[in-house]
Structures are given as structure tokens and as C-alpha cells.
Structure 1
Amino acid sequence: MRSLLPTCYPKTGGRIFLDGCFARYENYSFFDQAMDKSDTKVCYTGRNSTRPEAFQNLVREVVGNVSSEAQKRNGSSVNSISDSNLVVYALAQCWESINTSLCKSCLEDAAMAVVSCTPGTEGRALNAGCYLRYSTSLFWNVYATDVQSSGKSKTFWIILAAVLAGILLISGILIWKTTNVCSRSKSRTLRGLSSFSDSRLTFKYRELKHATGNFDNANKLGQGGYGTVYKGVLSDGREVAVKRLFLNTRQWINQFFNEVDLTNRVRHKNLVKLLGCSIDGPESLLVYEFYVNKSLDNFIFDSNQAKLLDWHKRFDIILGVAEGLSYLHEESEIRIIHRDIKASNILLDDKLKAKITDFGLARSFAEDQTHLSTGIAGTLGYLAPEYIVHGQLTEKADVYSFGVLILEIITGERCNVGIGAQPGKFFLAKIWNHYKANKVEGIIDDNIYNECFRDEILHVVQVSLLCTQATPSLRPPMPRIVELLRSTDAHELVPTDPPYLDVLNEHLRGETEVSDRLSVPCAMNFSVSSASSSGIKGR
């Protein structure tokens, strides 16, 4: 939960609902708020009860019972009810930020909301002050609830002792922190940057703050995976790009060190150049070369800017990204998987040459390793299906993302807009259908379509379809992709299956918790049908 909530930043509010706990932040006081306009319900209608009327009556009764019990039991209760072969389980919980009266109002509202989910076999109400869920499947720990009930008589004294101990502990920590946190933080930071100790690459925080106009929004260039990038002008007149972390949590700091270490160890004409960093201020900053044309997405997805990129310029960008990835995968001193190849992470210099940036999510691994097992991170629409399902990371995940990027450059369309729960699937299926029908002109951006270049563009489309094969072993390695792009020989450019089959659906059956590992924008609301996660949302 602690790692999920910061991903909602810089939205002004965010909430996470889990079975048994809740986290929320806002830019206003919400401690006495039971309901608000952001309250929502989540109904699962994929499977309905075969006895809808009887089922609705059971749901109404059990949520009424569990709501009443929660008001008497410190705001939390579970219950179940059965009739013949029908069983319904329910959980009600009020947050400690509201009183008993508000708890009653909140749960009454939530009960009406979830009852309307019937005959669906599961429903949840996500309110500002409470949470209510019913399901035909048992979704709580029976042993834990039994122990909780048997220990009710001790609850008051346990809580009182814990509160007193907590007050003493926090007081001690605050006293210690006041005198030690600065020196310890700086020492830890310097140790983390042992491979980046060249003083010539270190900037003063005060200098960068002044260079960006105190991080003025007017100087904002864009927003990366875990930070905002600003244009700055140094005292010597140099223009730079300064990346500022969203939050200085351990997760973000680890990504900061990771990006500094990896970016400082690689050198290639198609990789962004790291000029240095700042670690002496209240937040950590990265300093890069400034590229006046900003990122690729500002061109290909803008009807006016897209006209500035003809076919030859777009092909040069595609080839440049391929060469940069090939270097990371095979030619650098350490093998690196980027993990977040997308249009907004490709910068363009004054000659519109591609520069890969944003190494915060990148991973390096030893020569004898075939893959890394890691949590899912990246951007929906660009993620390879096997990476989403198994979390096993190889270079082929970057190859897949690169294939999607090629198609965005050729079509001028975003891969992950308005296409439901599986971004990338509809986009790739449309490309595949045009390719099979030999109607490649139906997908090419009007700004670059020309009969003279049709065969060249078709050749690159074929390369992209090879990159996005559903089976990782069918995707060529990046050095081979560079060769294919430079060649006009298309005899082996024959994808053997559609680029995005229903492989993902097959793998996801029975793996209902996969979705909550996806990295998604907080502007998107989602809810996972599992006992461990009900949803995360931001505004």
C-alpha cells in the first residue's frame, strides 16, 4: 500500500481500498467526511446468480446485518448468510476518521449501492468514510476473525498500551531525528552514489533551483515515470533539463540511484547524456542535456507537429532507437533492459535524432542470467504479455515495446487510448488485419504516406510485427532488428501468428491478482477482483 499511494502523485488526492485497510491523501481535511462525489461502486456481472430474486434478498439481509454489527464493533464486522445452496459473505468497515453516526450513514448508503449490483455475484462500495463488500466466495481469513472475536475483552487495554508506547516511541524518534536525520541521509546518499563520485558531475541544489526559476511550471518540460522535468539555465548560460523526484520515499530514491548509476555507465549517440546530479538539498535532482525538440510524442501525436516528420526522419528515429537498445542489450559493459520504451521517453535533438531517456525503471543483470524475476512496471499498451503474466524480464520485453513504438511512429496513433482493459490488443490487431489484407496504406499516417515509400514502410511494419510476436522466442534480438531495418531483404520478415493473440487471457485465468501489479496512471480507475485488492484511484 505504501508503494502504491505515491504513484497517484501529483494528483491532489488518492485512495486505496483493500479488504481490511484503507489509505488516502488529499489537499484538504477529510477526517469527518463519510461520503463525497468520488464515492463509487464496483459490480462484477460476469457471473450472475441463477436465482436473482432470492439472491437479492440474501444480499440485502447480510449487508444490513454486517452494517449494524460494524457500528457496534468499533466500525468493522464480517458475516455470512445461506439459504439452500446460496451462500453470501459480507464485510463492512468504517474508517477511524468518522464517528459512529457518520459510520451509520455511510454504511446505509454503501448498502443501497451494493444491493443494486445484484444479481451479480460480487459487489463493493468504495465510500469516503467506509467500505462494504459482498461475495459468493469467502474472502476473509476465518481464523483471524475468530481470534479477533475471542479477544474483544482485551482490546481496550491493548490499544491503550499501544497508544502510550507509540507516543513515547514517536517522541524519542522525533528528538533523535532532529539531530541526526540530515547527516545520516547525506551519508546514505553518498554511499548510494559511490560509482558517481566525480565532483565535476555534482551540482548544488541551490544552483539548480535558481536555474529552473524555483521549479516554475512555465519551465516544465514534461513528466517522467517518477518525476517532473524542468528546463534550466545555468550561471554559465548552458541550458539543461532537471529531473525532480515526485516524493523522496525509499522506492523513488532507489530509482534515482539506479538511473544515476546506469546512465553514467553507458555512452551512445542515441542515449541521453547525464551531466550530473544534486544530492545536497531536500530532494534529489538529475541533470541532463537539454533537447529543444523535447519528446517524440509531442510530434507524432500532434496533427501540426507531425507534418515536420516525413518518412525519412521517422525512419531515422526508428533506427536510432533500435541502435540505442541494441547497445544497451549487447554492447555496453553491463546488460541493461530499459523496461519503459515509449514515445515520451524518446527525446529529439536539434537535428531530430533520437535519444533514449528515463532509466529509472531500467534493470541490469549478469551475463549468465537468462531473465530477472521482478514486479511489473512500465506503461500499459507497451508491456509484453509474458512480462505481465509471469514477471520474468528479458530483453524481449524491450523488443516488444519497441515494436509497438514503431507502429505508433508509422500510424501517428497512440497504442493505449480508449481500448478498454487490454491496451495494445486492439491497436495491434488492427495493424495485423491491414497487413494480412495487404492494405498497409490504411494504417499509415497521412503525413508520410507516399506510393514511392510504400514498400519501405511495409518493410518496417513487418519488422514491427516480428517484434510484437506473442511468443518471445519469435522476436528477433535488437542487433538483428538493426540489421533488418537497414536491409531491404524481406524474405524472412513473415510473422507466423498475429502479434497479440488471446494468450494473455489464457494465462490470466486463475491469476486474478496480476492486474494490481500493473503500473497505471492515477487518472485511470481500476478495481481488481481478488480478496487482496479492491481498487486504487486518484484525482
Structure 2
Amino acid sequence: MFEKKRLRHGAYFILPKSLNSILIHFLRPSPQMVSSISTLVLLLATISSVTAATANDNYTTLLSLNCNGTRAVNTQSFDVNFVDAMEIISQEIASSGFGMAESGENATDKAYGLGQCLNYLSNVDCRLCYSQSRVQLPLCLPSTSARVYLNGCFLRYGNYNFSEEAVDDLDSVACGSSGNVTEVGFRDGANGLIQNLTNGAYEDRDYYKEGNATISSDVKIYGVAQCWRSLNKSGCRDCLEKAREKIVGCFPASEGAALNAGCVVRYSMNPFYVASSASSGSSSATRRRALVATLSIIAAVLVIGAAILWGRRRPPTNGDSENPDGSSEILRLISESHLSFKYDDLRKATKDFDLGNKIGQGGYGSVYKGTLPDGREIAVKRLFINTTQWLDQFFNEVNLISQVQHKNLVKLLGCSVEGPESLLVYEYLCNTSLDRFLFEPLDLTLQSDSFRKKALDWGKRSDILVGTAEGLAYLHEASEVRIIHRDIKASNILLDERLKPKIADFGLARYFAEGQSHLSTGLAGTLGYMAPEYVVHGQLTEKADVYSYGILVLEVLTGKKSNSSVSSSTESQSLISQVWGHFNTKTLIQVLDLDLQDQCSEKEAINVFQVGLLCTQASPNLRPPMWKVVEMLTSKSKDLPLPTQPPFVNVKGVELRSSGSESSMKGSSSSKFPVSMNRMSLSIMQGR
């Protein structure tokens, strides 16, 4: 979604990727206008870069990525255990800067992990560095072991317990350009610095030592030595000694790093670390980064504002030469079709998009209730247009949902493409979304809230699960095009006046060509509902929807939201962990929503729980297709197969944290996963 432009002083300015294409798609300006706007961007960026000259955060720069050549025996199980271990490490990194984990019950597919940040990183920078290393490491799968070194952190996984290894055959050294330092005494000064650091680090409580040496009035050299906390003192000393022997081979290069299994030793003529005692300096750097971000946002706002003002004044043009992708022709066809609504009519219907009429929000837009002059009630989705994906998102939703018709899919009435923003018009469902009934805090003194609490009895919840399954089965098997929704969750299940479900929000949906087994696509969806194989490899099949549906089943039965169940559990367990534990101890009835007690037999409840667990199995091949799910939910006589263990059952402690992105992975590594609140939901998208 964004790209970095390198400016003077090594600073970066973040601006929308493919700016020219955005302008051409949206406003169709002349090349001169594009050039002027781009100049404005770079001018404002340069102003930002002057302030940020000393805030060049390069701790996420990749130093080395090493993968071994052995392939995992059971790749699917190993992938799941890898993800599980990485999530546990993520929690520990966030709290202490170091984490170890193991996941899996069988020796053949067990995954071990270890991660640590170097001591000079702040907590925020540490989590950002871990997030970047977490993106790099899966590139080695299905190798049985791999390690990645960034400038500020280290992350490793393997199929055996390597936590006490100080050195091994994959140890390496990375040197800068050789022979680029001419100062007399550099070699002696650098060697003395490395000697002091490696002799002192293993004596330190944190196995860490930093320092610098003055070579001349104009030349200074900086260095760091650090061992991982999993080693003992003797192991740390051995690791540092081996690292020292290797790194001296880099002299007289201006920088070098010895990358061992249990430690890192590094030197550079650039001050790559922030002295641990200079807390004020760290605070100042944080303020500088905040200022850069603020100026960047101001620059982007000015650019977009100038473009929009110019676009509104400029008369429309004809011809495809300025619109090579044919989008203007698609817009024209839509505007002339029965799907077209006038922008002013929709604006009036929603009372100028009054906040009092806002009934929801998704990853790509806000939804408002409206009333047309003929009395019809509608739901108007107001798409966000300040993203590079807005055009694709708009056409995707129009094209897909207009091709499918089913009683359990929200009906698209039309759209508006001629006004200052893009709008989608749907049938209005008076009871809004399922999450409003399941998860929103209730005020029992209000009649409406009291109704909501009692409305979802066992029969209604069963109908919602069956109807949602039927809608998905239609998308996967029976529609003209084979569609994967990618964002099945309670906030995207809307309820009509009889509380019958309809699947909504097709903005992230994708369709398969005939004969295609899977899609390799960017990561998109909502954290906590995405299947593990999709998270790891980005390979999308219908089984990703099946997994999300399984999570929905467990939420409907327990009345608990998956993403917030860790904090509400007395044992700090995720929802899927709680349900799996009770399944193994044959006490599933204990996690059934209290409002459903005595409304169904124990066998009925356990059967539906079992369907949810079958849908959330770690292996996608074991998950049933949605037509089979419908059959299992509606057939009372057949015995169900036993589910295998789902992923993430070992994640405990705090809520899962994002891996650095809803970048559109929008989300922060320091914030909890986005959850549905007040009928609003957040979806994520990340390029791979």
C-alpha cells in the first residue's frame, strides 16, 4: 500500500505507492498535474527529512536469512506448530524482549522457536523488529530450521531444542566493503574495541555490552556484543570468542557482524545503537519520528486535497488513452445500468451521512441507514477512497455480489459512481449484525437490549449457523463463479426482521478460475479468524472460509468473542483452547452460553460444538466442505467424525498481538487485535 522514498540524510518519507496510477484511476489528470503534485510531495518530504536526519531507524534491515536444506516430513502440521510457536514468542518479546517456545505433540512435527532483541532497542522498536523478522522467517518453510538476523533482533525456528547452542555450522560473518578505511590505527582500534566488548559481555547480567573507540578526530567506531539469554555464562563466552575470531577478518571494512547461533558481535563507523544510558536521546528520537509521521500525513492530505479540488474543476475527458485499464468504460457502463443511483439521492437518504444513521464500519468503508423518497429503507456503504486499492475494491464488490443471488446473501441494489465518492447500496436489514446480539454489553433496563438478550435462543442460533453455512456452500459450489469470502465473522452476518442470516461485505472476496486449485494472494481478513495455512503461505482455498466459519460456530455457542476470550478466561486461554480442552475432558456443556442452558439437549449442543471443531482443524484437508457442514448440522441421525487438534491451542497469557501490519495489515504490534465493537469491525489486508 505504501512505498518508501529515500531522501537526503538517509531519511525516508512514506507516501502512497504508485501515486501516478492513483491519480489516473481517480481523477484522470494531465501529466503536468501529476508532475506538479509529485513535486509537492517530494518538497514536503524533504522538509520532513531535515528534521529526521538523525532518526534513521535501520534496525529492521536484514543482515542474513539462513534456511537449511531438510524438508519437514509433515509440512502441514509443522507449519501449524511453527505459527503457534511464533505467536507465543510474540507475547514474550512484547513483555521482555526475549522469548522461547515449543509447539506440537509429535516429535516428527514439533516446532521450537527463539527470538531476542538487542538491548539497545526500545520496547516499541523491539516489537517492530520482531514483526519484520516474523515476516522474513516463513520464507524458509518447509525447511526444518532457519534463522534470521536483523540489525536489531534475531529469530530462529527448528525441529529440535537448540536453545543452548552457542555455535554451529550455519554461523556466518557479514562484512561491509573491504579496504574502505584508510585511517592509521583503525585495525588496532577496532580490534581493541571488539576485544573489550567480547570480554565484558558474558560477565554482564544481560550478556550485553556496547562501546565505542576514537580512531582520530574525524573517525569513531561503535560496537556491540550480545548473547541470547538461553545460554549459560560458559556458552556465552565460547560464542563470543568464536565471533571475535571471525569478525576480525572484516578489517579494514567500515562495518562487520559475526552472526552465531547464540550471539551477535557487530561494529560500524555509524552509531547504529542508542546508548542505553541516554534515555533522553531515545525520547528525542521518538519525538522526531512522531514529527516525521505528522509531516508525512500533512503532505499526503495536501496532495489528496489539491488533487480533488483540481479534479472537480477540470471538465471530464473522453478517450481511453488516459485510462489504459478501461476503468472509465466500466464506470460508464455502471452509471448507465439499472444498478446506478444518483449521489445526491443517497446523500439525502442518509441525511448527509449523519452519524446518527451510521450502522457499521468495515475495513473499506462506513455503512449508513437511508430512506429513499419511495419509502424503501436501504443501507449505503460509503467507501474509503484514500487507499490504492479503492478502485479494485469497488469493482470487486460490485462485480461479485451482482453475480450471486441467494437467500442467505445480502442483496446488492446498486451503486453510485458519479459523485465525489463511491457508494454501494444494499437491502437494509433491521437487526444489523450478529455481533451486536452476541457481544455488545447489554443494558437490561432498556427494552431493546432485553429483547436482544432473549432473542437468540437455541433455535435462532441453530438457524443462523445453518443459514450461514448454506450461503457459504452456495458461494463455494453452486454460484456461477466460485467465490471465497475471506472475512467470515459475526459482524459480517446480518440479520433480518426474523433474525435470518445474510452474509455481507464482499470487499475482500476472491473468485477462482475453473480448474484452479488455490490462489496465492495477499493476506486479508480479520485476525483471529484466518486459517493457519493462509497466514503462513498466503495460499487461499475454500477451506480458509471453513476455518473462519468454525470460529464463528464456537462464538455463537459460547457467546464469547474469539479475539477477546483470552482476557476473559480464568486460565488465560483462547476460545479455541478452552473448547478443545473441554472436548478432551468430555465437559463441553460447561462452555455453552448460559442463556442456552436447558434450551437444548446435551447431545445437540455437543454435536454443533463438534462441527465447529471439525471446521477448525489444523490441516485444511481434514476440514469438511461447506455442503457437508450443512448436512452435519441438519442431519440428526448420523454420527460425526472425531476432530483433530486445532491450531493455537497452546497460546496463553495475553491476547494475541498483530505481526506488524493490518497494513493495510492495519494494526500495531503494540495493540490488541481489532475486535468488533458497536457494530463496527475492522478487516485487514497485507501484501505478501
Using structure 1 for the length normalisation, give the TM-score: 0.68
> Pairwise mapping of residues 393-404 of structure 1 onto structure 2 (< 5 A)?
393-404=540-551
Q: 2:487 aligns with which of 340, 354, 372?
A: 340
Shift in alpha-carbon separation, 1:416–1:182, aligned structure 2, 3 A = farther
Mapping for residues 127-138 of structure 1, pairs under 5 Å: 127-129=289-291
Of 664, 667, 670, which aligns to 1:525?
670
Where 1:128 maps in the other structure, the secondary structure is helix
Letter in 2 for 1:276: G
1:468 is matched with which residue: 616, 620, 626? 616
Equivalent runs, 1:40-59 vs 2, <5 Å: 41-43=124-126, 50=202, 52=204, 56-58=208-210
Q: CA deviation at 1:447?
A: 0.8
Deviation at 1:441, TM superposition (A): 1.9
- C-alpha separation in 2, matches of 1:520 and 1:247: 17
Encode CA deviations 1:91-137: one digit per residue, 9 max, x unaligned.
779xxxxxxxxxx9xx975744699xxxxxxxx99832479xxxxxx
Q: Which residue of 1 is the match for residue 31 of structure 2?
A: none
User: Hey, what's the Cα distance between the residues in 1 that align with 2:203 and 2:539?
Assistant: 43
Deviations 1:311-369 (A, max 9, x none): 10000000000000000000000000000000000000001000000000000011200
Residue 220 of structure 1 and its aligned partner are, at CA, apart by 0.3
CA–CA separation in structure 2 for the residues paired with 1:91 and 1:174:
45
1:533 match? none
- Structure 2 counterparts to residues 397-436 of structure 1, below 5 A: 397-417=544-564, 419=566, 426-436=574-584
CA distance in 1, matches of 2:154, 2:638: 45
Q: Which residue of 2 aligns with 1:2?
A: 2
Q: Please give the alpha-carbon distance, in whole angstroms, between the structure 2 residues aligned to 1:267 and 1:172.
A: 38
Answer whether contact 1:468 1:500 (CA < 8 A) is retained: no
Letter in 2 for 1:42: D
- For residues 205 and 647 of structure 2, the distance between their equivalents in structure 1, rounded to whole angstroms, comes to 45
| Structure 2 match to 1:458 | 606
CA distance in 2, matches of 1:182, 1:52: 70
Q: Given the alignment, which residue of 584, 594, 597 partners 1:446?
A: 594
For residue 209 of structure 1, give the secondary structure of its aligned residue in structure 2.
helix
SS of equivalent residue, structure 2 residue 524: coil
Amino acid in structure 2 at the alignment position of 1:488: K
Q: Which runs of 5+ in 1 are unaligned?
A: 5-18, 70-77, 94-103, 116-123, 132-170, 504-512, 528-535
Written as runs of structure 1 = structure 2, the 5 A alignment for 1:175-254 is 179=314, 189-193=327-331, 196=334, 199-254=337-392
* 1:270 alignment partner AA: N
Bigger Cα displacement from structure 2, 41-50 vs 242-251: 41-50
Unaligned segments of structure 2, at least 5 residues: 5-9, 17-46, 55-121, 128-152, 156-162, 164-200, 222-252, 294-305, 443-448, 652-657, 673-684
Superposed CA offset, 1:158-185 (max 9, x none): xxxxxxxxxxxxx999989964667668
- C-alpha separation in 1, matches of 2:289 and 2:324: 41
In the alignment, what sits opposite 1:87? 266
What is the Cα deviation at residue 307 of structure 1?
2.5
Q: Does 1:297 align with 2:435?
A: yes
Q: Distance in 2 between matches of 1:59 and 1:130?
A: 29
**Paired residues for 1:482-497 under 5 Å:** 482-497=630-645
Q: What is aligned with 1:318?
A: 465
CA–CA separation in structure 2 for the residues paired with 1:195 and 1:364: 22
**Other-structure match for 1:118:** none
* Secondary structure of 2:338 counterpart: helix
8 Å contact from structure 2 (residues 577, 650) kept in 1: no
**Alignment-mate amino acid for residue 484 of structure 1:** M
- Larger gyration radius, structure 1 or structure 2: 2
Letter in structure 2 aligned against 1:485: L
Question: Structure 1 residue 81: deviation in Å?
Answer: 7.5
**CA separation of 1:80 and 1:172: change in aligned 2, threshold 3 A:** same
Identity of aligned residues (%): 45
CA distance, structure 1, for counterparts of residue 504 and residue 307 of structure 2? 43
* Code of the aligned partner of 1:191: E
Matched, 1:269 2:407: yes
In structure 2, how many angstroms separate the alpha carbons of the residues matched to 1:177 and 1:439?
Answer: 64
Number of residues of Structure 1 aligned to a counterpart in Structure 2: 429
Deviates more, 1:446-455 or 1:173-182: 173-182
**Where does residue 156 of structure 1 map in the other structure?**
none
Distance in 1 (CA, whole Å) between partners of 2:280 and 2:412 is: 51
- Please list the CA deviations of residues 391-416 of structure 1 after superposition, one character each: whole Å capped at 9, or x if unmatched: 00000000000000011111111111
The CA distance in 2 between the partners of 1:397 and 1:366, in whole Å, is 17
The offset of 1:452, in angstroms, is 3.9
Does 264-273 or 180-189 show the bigger shift? 180-189
Deviations 1:248-268 (A, max 9, x none): 433022111000000100000
Is contact 1:291–1:347 with CA below 8 Å preserved after alignment?
Answer: yes
Provide the aligned C-alpha RMSD in A: 4.7
CA distance in 2, matches of 1:308, 1:172: 49
Cα distance in structure 1, aligned partners of 2:377 and 2:479? 28
Distance apart, 1:232 and its partner CA: 0.8
Q: How does 1:1-80 map to 2 (within 5 A)?
A: 1-2=1-2, 21-23=12-14, 41-43=124-126, 50=202, 52=204, 56-58=208-210
Separation (CA, whole Å) in 1 of partners of 2:403 and 2:380: 19
Distance 2:349 2:307 in 1: 39
Equivalent residues of 1:3, 1:251 under 8 A apart: no
- Paired AA for residue 346 in structure 1: I
Please report the TM-score for the alignment, with normalisation by the length of structure 2. Answer: 0.54
Q: In structure 2, what is the Cα distance between the partners aligned to 1:434 and 1:24?
A: 49
Query: 1:354 maps to which residue?
Result: 501
- Aligned mates of 2:11, 2:434 — CA distance in 1: 43
Please give the secondary structure, in 1, of the residue aligned with 2:400: helix
